[in-house]
Amino acid sequence: MNITLRQLQIFEAVSMHLSYTRAAEVLYLSQPAVSMQIKQLESEIDMPLFERMGKRLFLTDAGKELQIYARNISQQLVELEDVMSEMRGSERGHLTIAVATTANYFALKILGEFYKRYSSTNISLDVTNRASLITHLAENTVDMVIMGQPPEGCDVEATPFLKNPLVVIAPRHHFLVGKKNIPLSELQKETFIMRELGSGTRIAMERFFEQAGYNITSVIEMSSNEAINQAVEAGLGLGIVSKHTLEWELSLDRLAILDVESFPIMRHWYLVHRHGKRFTAVMAAFKDLVINETLSLLKE
């Protein structure tokens, strides 16, 4: 199979934008040049990579498989560039990080400190949900991920670096505010504002109540922690969130943390990357900062 890196680069752009026109604009090529390269690639693979339905372009199964390999190759080329830069004595480098939406509250502070020390580093940050974080790890499209519970069945290394207490929050004037050691049976009567199915916080919460023998039946789903905090403040129900997401609301006295038996649910934040990943000096420096200095940074 004789595939060129240029063909993979063009394919990756088309597969990302699902548009020959947009890919051509991004790559500063003509649309016919992009189409010709894709046709040559499809001829080499002997399978179609895209199919058009109406005005929309879709990846075929072969295209989806090639997209994974194309992304991996692109990532390896970036790593190669960083390694060569280090060998030339350059301080420049790339760092690609994906962070759980819940962790964004402190992750930006870590990245800010890292950038002060390594200001010539090009940093890419994706703040996203758990499903996307797992995809990043599976497809090796980022250097490292900051998340809650690491995924099972993935060939990854996960290092805990910070406690992540989950607490029950209520509107400031809720009748349970100020009560001590509230029994779980009392919470069963309440409506809960939750993250979407599959989120790390949702999984931990459901597992906790199931093990305790309780079932939460009244649920309102929200797609972000900010939305949960706002919904709780508006009186729509109670929430269970990471304490790290509450600094602003607590300082303004907008929300209250309830004193509930068996709470907080203690979890951890993890720094996760593919097993055996080749670390550049920049990546190693970031990992060292996260593992060894996060706690002191958050106390400042």
Check whether residue 99 and residue 10 sit in a common domain. Answer: no
176-203 pLDDT, tens digit each:
999 999 998 888 888 899 888 777 788 8
Domain membership flag for residue 262: yes
Domain membership flag for residue 259: yes
217-254 pLDDT, tens digit each:
778 888 788 889 899 999 999 999 888 888 788 888 88
Domain membership flag for residue 229: yes
Q: pTM of the entire structure? A: 0.66
Residue % of the chain over a pLDDT of 70: 97
d(CA 274, CA 167): 31
Check whether residue 61 and residue 208 sit in a common domain. Answer: no
Domain membership flag for residue 82: no
Listed as own residue / partner, the contacts of 285-289 with beta carbons closer than 8 Å and 24 or more positions apart are 285/114, 285/117, 285/118, 286/95, 286/97, 286/114, 286/143, 286/144, 287/144, 287/159, 289/110, 289/113, 289/114, 289/117
Check whether residue 167 and residue 263 sit in a common domain. Answer: yes
Q: What is the pLDDT of residue 91?
A: 54
Check whether residue 174 and residue 148 sit in a common domain. Answer: no
Q: What is the pLDDT of residue 202?
A: 83
Check whether residue 221 and residue 278 sit in a common domain. Answer: no
Q: What is the pLDDT of residue 88?
A: 58
* CATH number of the domain bearing residue 27: 1.10.10.10
* CATH number of the domain bearing residue 217: 3.40.190.10
Domain membership flag for residue 48: yes
Our count of domains for the chain comes to: 3
Question: Which domain range does residue 293 map to?
Answer: 92-162+268-299
Check whether residue 134 and residue 196 sit in a common domain. Answer: no
